[in-house]
């Protein structure tokens, strides 16, 4: 009896019919976006700004990559998902620290950040040790970094340098690790749900909110929110994007363990956090005088440019979902 039940619960954390339905919907959506781009590019006069079309084409390409990676990992299971997000995190931190000036005195601290704290965080997530992975970076990591930098003996601009490393660790590693942590949420026996489906739902909503905010920001009569940091983000984009994402969330509630109004509200929260993430990273990029974080694929920006909204939305979404889902 016991092994059979274990098997059943494993299947439940991976995939169920609704999750496959969600994957199917995304495939249809991405497929039609790809076809639309193809058709528009073939026309001699596409009727829209070619620069916007090119941005959109690259964006669709990046979505395929992101979706294939995340959905593929979810299909395999929890460990694969944690590893995939761990690698994304490692690469994002690479991009972050590369663009942040550090001094030779930070070298040893950075070594431990990359090779101890980052892997440790994801190992703890895979072990489902919530008590530890929720504090190991913001308490022990954040105490360790200043001490190690101080030990190196270089006190010039000390606080600034420590803050840079801590911010990178917080955004690229700690926050992002809450996305695969969604795979560790379990429903009760009375109300089972697929945690893989929850993660996919989260990623889909974040990406949709990014796109919808961009689309809404194209309408004229623009009220830019912070012109000095991000001239492309308008109140129309934020409000219109959030409202339409909430609508999408309500429609997609069948893929979640929540009723439609909770799903709509969660989607709106994701949209707001995604906005916060994009704005914060824009401020950092603007300060460094760059447009994109990485050069992994020419013209596509970096990993961090694609996941900044995921980083900010993941911990908030995780905590709300954890509160709402009745534990087994």
Partner 1 sequence: METTITINVLALIARVLSGASVRWVDCQPDTCQRVYFANHTSHLDALVLWSALPADVRARTRPVGAKDYWSAGRIRRYFSTRVFNALLIDRQEIKVHQSPVDLMIREIGHRDSLIVFPEGGRSDGREVGEFKSGLYYLCKKRPDLECIPVYLDNMNRILPRGQFLPVPLLSCITFGPPIWLEADESKDDFLRRARQAVLQLKES
CA distance 67 to 200: 8
Q: In the block, which residue shows the tokens 């909110």?
A: 209
Total interface residues for partner 1 by CB under 8 A: 14
Report, in Å, the least distance between residue 72 CB and partner 1: 20
Residue 280 engages partner 1 in binding (rule: CB under 8 A) = no
Closest-CA residue to 303 (of 124, 84, 143, 23): 84
CA distance 294 to 303: 7
Residues 76-135 within binding reach of partner 1 (CB under 8 A): 90, 94-95, 97-98, 102, 104, 107-108, 110-111, 114
Report, in Å, the least distance between residue 227 CB and partner 1: 30
Our CB check for partner 1 shows the closer of 97 and 253 to be 97
Our CB check for partner 1 shows the closer of 252 and 281 to be 281
> CA torsion angle for 45, 46, 50, 53 (degrees, to 10)?
-160
Nearest-5° Cα angle at 280, 233 to 121: 135
Our CB check for partner 1 shows the closer of 95 and 305 to be 95
Instruction: Write the binding mask 239 to 278 for partner 1: x where contact by CB under 8 A, - elsewhere.
Output: ----------------------------------------
CA distance 32 to 40: 12
Report, in Å, the least distance between residue 114 CB and partner 1: 6
Our CB check for partner 1 shows the closer of 81 and 118 to be 118
Report, in Å, the least distance between residue 150 CB and partner 1: 18
Contacts of 20 (CB under 8 A, 6+ apart): none
By three-state DSSP, how is residue 234 classified? strand
Our CB check for partner 1 shows the closer of 233 and 285 to be 285
Our CB check for partner 1 shows the closer of 59 and 94 to be 94
Q: In the block, which residue shows the tokens 């900010």?
A: 312
Interhelix angle for 50-76 vs 195-216, to 10°? 170
Binding site for partner 1 (CB under 8 A): 90, 94-95, 97-98, 102, 104, 107-108, 110-111, 114, 294-295
């Amino acid at each position: 009896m016991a092994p059979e039940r274990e098997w059943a619960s494993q299947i439940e954390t991976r995939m169920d019919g609704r999750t496959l339905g969600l994957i199917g919907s995304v495939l249809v959506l991405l497929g039609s976006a790809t076809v639309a781009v193809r058709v528009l590019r073939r026309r001699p006069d596409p009727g829209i700004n070619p620069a916007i079309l090119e941005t959109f084409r690259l964006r669709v390409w990046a979505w395929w990559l992101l979706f294939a990676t995340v959905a593929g990992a979810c299909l395999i299971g929890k460990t694969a998902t944690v590893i995939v997000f761990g690698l994304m995190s490692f690469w994002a931190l690479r991009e972050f620290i590369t663009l942040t000036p550090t001094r030779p005195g930070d070298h040893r601290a950075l070594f431990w950040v990359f090779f101890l704290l980052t892997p440790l965080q994801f190992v703890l997530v895979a072990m489902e040790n919530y008590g530890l992975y929720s504090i190991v970076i913001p308490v022990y990591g954040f105490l360790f970094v200043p001490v190690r930098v101080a030990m190196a003996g270089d006190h010039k601009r000390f606080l600034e340098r420590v803050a840079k490393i801590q911010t990178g660790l917080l955004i690229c590693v700690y926050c992002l690790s809450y996305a695969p942590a969604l795979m560790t949420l379990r429903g009760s026996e009375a109300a089972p749900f697929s945690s893989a489906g929850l993660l996919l739902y989260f990623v889909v909503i974040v990406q949709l909110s990014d796109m919808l905010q961009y689309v809404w920001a194209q309408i004229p009569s623009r009220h830019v929110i912070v012109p000095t940091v991000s001239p492309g983000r308008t109140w129309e984009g934020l409000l219109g994007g959030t409202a339409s994402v909430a609508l999408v969330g309500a429609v997609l509630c069948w893929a979640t363990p929540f009723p439609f109004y909770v799903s709509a509200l969660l989607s709106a929260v994701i949209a707001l956090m995604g906005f916060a993430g994009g704005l914060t990273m824009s401020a950092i990029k603007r300060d460094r005088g760059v447009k994109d974080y990485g050069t992994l694929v020419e013209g596509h920006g970096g990993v961090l440019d694609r996941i900044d909204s995921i980083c900010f939305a993941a911990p908030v979404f995780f905590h709300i979902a954890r509160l709402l889902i009745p534990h087994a």
